[in-house]
Structure 1
Amino acid sequence: MTVETQARNAKLAAIVPVPEDREFSFSADDYAFLRAMLKQRTGIELGPTKQNMVYARLAKRLRKLGFKSFRQYIEFIGSEEGRDELGTTLNALTTNLTKFFRENHHFEHLGSTALQEIRARATTQGRRLRIWSAGCSSGEEPYSIAITLLRAMPDIKQWDAKILATDIDTEMVRRGAEGVYSAAALDGIPPDIAKKYFELYGADKIRLCDEARGLISFKYLNLIGDWPMKGPFDAIFCRNVVIYFDKDTQRTLFDRYANLLVPGGFLYIGHSENLFGITERFKLLGRNIHRKIA
C-alpha cells in the first residue's frame, strides 16, 4: 500500500466513522475499490461520505451469499464464478429516485412548446417523433413523457412516434417495461389523468394503459459505453444523472447528446444540474430546459 493510499484511507476514516458492531467487516480499502470499480464501469463517482450507504445496499447480498466480509464479496465479484453477481452489485449501487411528473414544468414545456415546434416541422420533414429518456430508472419519467404525448397529440396514431427509455440498472429496466406500480404512485396525479392513463392491477397496484406502454422501448444502456441508436432525437431527458459524473465525463456526455439531437432539439436536465463550463452547444431557455444550437 502506497503512502498516498494510506493517507487517503486515513482521511476517509476520519470523515466516515465505521460502526464497531457491523455484521460484516468493511475497510476503507474495500470502499475505495468499490468506488473505483463503479467509476470505471459506469462513470458514477461516489463521494467519500457514502461508505455507510454502500454498506447498507450490499450487506444483504453478503448475507444471502454467505460471506463474512466485504473483502470476500469483492474477491467473488472479480472471479469468473461471480461474473453475474457483478451486475447485481452495480444495480444496488445505482441511485433510483423518481416519480411520475417529477419537475412537471419539463412536461408542460414538452406538451405546450416542444411538440408544437415538432408539429410545425412535420410539414416538410414528415411525422416522425423521437424522445429519449436517458437514466429512466423504474420508468416513471418515460411514462410521464408518453402521457404528455397522448394528451397533446390526439392524432398520435398518425405519427411515427417512439420513446426510448434506457438505464444501467437491469432491474429498473425490467420494472419499467412491466409498467406496474404501487397504487401510492398516483399520489399527486390529477384524477382525470389517473383515470384515463392508469388501470387497476390487482388489489393495490396500478398499470399504465396499453397506449402509453406501446410508445416506449425499454433498453439497458451504460451511458459511458457504446450507444447503438442512431437518432436523431427531437428531445432528450437526462435529469439528475450527471450529478454522479465528473466534469470530463459530463463534457463527453453532453457532446454526444448534442450529436444525436436534431437542430434546435431540446435537452431537459435536473434541477440541481447546469451546463455552465461544460458545453457551449446548448442555449438555456429557462428552468433547466436547453435548446441545441450547434
Structure 2
Amino acid sequence: MTRDLLTPEPGGWASGGQLERDLELTDADFARIRQLIYQRAGIVLAEHKREMVYSRLAKRLRHHGLIRFSDYLARLERQPEAKEWEAFTNALTTNLTAFFREAHHFPLLADHVRGRRGPVRVWSAAASTGEEPYSIAMALTEALGSRGGEAEVVATDIDTEALEKARVGVYSMEQIHKLDEGRIKRFFQRGRGRHEGLARVRPELKAMVAFEPLNLLAPSWPVKGPFDAIFCRNVMIYFDKETQARILERFAPLLKPDGLLFAGHSENFSYTTDAFRLRGQTVYVRQPRC
C-alpha cells in the first residue's frame, strides 16, 4: 500500500515542490474518502483532488488529535449518526459564489414572474453563503414592485457552515462592490465604526429568504412546491449522470407547469432527462407530462 506521507524539510517544503505533510493519507484512505462523500452527498471526487482532500480534512484530524486518516475514517464509520459527518461533508463542499453570478439569469427570472398573480416562490437549491438567494430576492423585489415583499425564496444547502453565514447576511464591501450603487443603497446597510468595511442585508430583504439545510441525495426533501423557478447552478457538475437524472426527475413535480430551471454555465441536461427542455442559455423549462 502506497503511503502519502512526506518527510518534512527546512522551510516547510518537501522534495519535488510539494507541501510538507505531517499526517498520513494512504491510497486506501483516499479511495475510502471518495466512496464516503459519494454515498453521503453524491459528490464525485476526481483523482486529482487528493491535495484538496488532504488540506481540507487535515483540519478535522488535528481538531481530534489524530495523525492518520485511517483512524479518522474509522471513527466516522463507527458512529454513522455523529455530528462529525456534518463537518466531514462541509469540508469537502465547494462554495464558490457571488452576487448576481451568471447575470443573464436574473432578467429572465424577472420577465418570468413580472405581472403574475398569486404568490411567487423560487428555490435556490445550492444557496452556499447566501449570495445567490439574496440576488434572487433583489431581482424579485425589482420585478414585482409593491408585491415584492410577498415573494418567497427557499434557500437550501448541504453545507451547514455556509448556511449559517448566509443567515447572518453580512458581507465585506469587496463582496458587494460589483453591485450598482442603487442596489447597494436599497438592499444593504453599510457598517460603521467597528463594522467599517462590512455591509448587512436589510431586514426586509432578509425576511424574503428562508434558509434550511438540505442534502439533494436525501430520500425526502423539506421543501414543498410549487415553485416558479428552481436555481440549481454549478452543483450537478459534482454528480454522475445517474445522480443528475434522479435529482432532475425530483425537481420537475415541484415546479409550476411553466416553471424554469436555471443551471450553471458548464452544465447541460439536454440528454440527461426528458423532464426538461432547453429554453435558452443554461435555462430549462419543465416539460408537460402526457
Map of 2:128 onto structure 1: 137
Aligned partners of 2:154 and 2:211 also within 8 Å: yes
1:21 CA drift (Å): 4.1
Map of 1:65 onto structure 2: 64
Moved more, 65-74 or 88-97: 65-74
1:97-176 alignment runs, 5 A limit: 97-111=96-110, 113-116=111-114, 119-120=115-116, 122=117, 127-156=118-147, 160-176=150-166
- For residues 138 and 106 of structure 2, the distance between their equivalents in structure 1, rounded to whole angstroms, comes to 9
Count of aligned residue pairs for this structure pair: 272
Map of 2:188 onto structure 1: 198
Map of 1:31 onto structure 2: 30
1:19 CA drift (Å): 4.9
The secondary structure found in structure 2 opposite 1:62 is: helix
The secondary structure found in structure 2 opposite 1:50 is: helix
1:234 and 2:228 equivalent?
A: yes
Aligned partners of 2:150 and 2:208 also within 8 Å: no
Q: Which runs of 5+ in 1 are unaligned?
A: 1-5, 11-16
1:92 and 2:91 equivalent?
A: yes
TM-score under structure 1 normalisation? Answer: 0.87
Match of 2:261 among 262, 267, 278: 267
1:78 CA drift (Å): 2.4
1:222 CA drift (Å): 0.4
Aligned partners of 2:172 and 2:198 also within 8 Å: yes
TM-score under structure 2 normalisation? Answer: 0.89
Moved more, 275-284 or 232-241: 275-284
The secondary structure found in structure 1 opposite 2:229 is: strand
Map of 1:188 onto structure 2: 178
Q: In the TM superposition, what whole-angstrom CA distance separates every residue of 1:151-174 from its partner, at most 9, and x where no partner exists?
A: 1121226x7421100000011111
- For residues 159 and 208 of structure 2, the distance between their equivalents in structure 1, rounded to whole angstroms, comes to 21
Aligned partners of 2:137 and 2:209 also within 8 Å: yes
The secondary structure found in structure 2 opposite 1:78 is: helix
- For residues 81 and 239 of structure 1, the distance between their equivalents in structure 2, rounded to whole angstroms, comes to 29
- For residues 81 and 287 of structure 2, the distance between their equivalents in structure 1, rounded to whole angstroms, comes to 46
Give the direction of change, closer, same or farther, for the CA distance of 1:20–1:195 in structure 2 (3 Å limit). Answer: closer
Aligned partners of 2:275 and 2:286 also within 8 Å: yes
Q: % of aligned pairs identical?
A: 41
Q: Please report the RMSD computed on the Cα atoms of aligned residues, expressed in angstroms.
A: 2.1
Aligned partners of 1:129 and 1:160 also within 8 Å: yes
- For residues 183 and 217 of structure 1, the distance between their equivalents in structure 2, rounded to whole angstroms, comes to 24
Amino acid at match of 1:115: V
1:187 CA drift (Å): 2.2
- For residues 72 and 127 of structure 2, the distance between their equivalents in structure 1, rounded to whole angstroms, comes to 29
- For residues 175 and 167 of structure 2, the distance between their equivalents in structure 1, rounded to whole angstroms, comes to 16
Aligned partners of 1:131 and 1:162 also within 8 Å: yes
1:18 CA drift (Å): 11
1:81 CA drift (Å): 9.9
